[in-house]
Amino acid sequence: MEVILFDSVKGVGIQGDIVKVSEGYFRNFLKPKGLADVATPAVIQRYERSKKKALELAAERAAEAKELAKKLEALTIPVKAKAGDGEKLFGSVTTPEIADALKAQGYIVDKKQIEVDEPIKTLGAHKVHVRLHTEVTGTFTLMVERLG
């Protein structure tokens, strides 16, 4: 029987392929897991429409991420931290602290999206990267200032 794959299946095919499989394999494995459906013209057309819509949505999100990345480039976000003599901090500035500082400036970013090359343990300016989309990374300057 011919089915269209909604997701890649190892040993069978990749997403969007129309492949021949046994009726039992389809009925007992592919259909219950939502991995495939019978390849009728209506199902193929519905799959193509949903795929097109998903691509448009992904392109829209990428454009929004690029726009946000441009805004972040010009930003200098201040963060206060306890520091000892000289420039050394007690501990380091963490990604949740950076996310909170961004939120205070009006930018909602998840702490998991923030990428720091090495721990921020000194006062001064540091470059911080934010993964906004799979293809888009924004960079801003984090200014660590002495608390108190």
Q: The domain spanning residue 23 has which CATH number?
A: 3.40.5.10
Give the residue numbers spanning the domain of 102. Answer: 67-146
- Same domain as 81, residue 134: yes
- Within this chain, do residues 96 and 56 fall inside the same structural domain, yes or no? no
Residues 137 and 72 in one domain: yes
C-alpha closest to that of 6 among 32, 58, 56: 32
Domain count, the chain: 2
Residue 143: per-residue pLDDT: 94
CATH number at residue 97: 3.10.430.100
Residue 84: its pLDDT value, please? Answer: 86
Instruction: State both tokens at 92.
Output: 């380091």
User: Do residues 81 and 141 both lie within one domain?
Assistant: yes
Q: Are residues 71 and 138 in the same domain?
A: yes
Return the closest-CA partner of residue 116 out of 92, 95, 135. 95
Under-70 pLDDT residues of the chain: 148
Same domain for 71 and 47: no
What's the confidence (pLDDT) of residue 148?
67
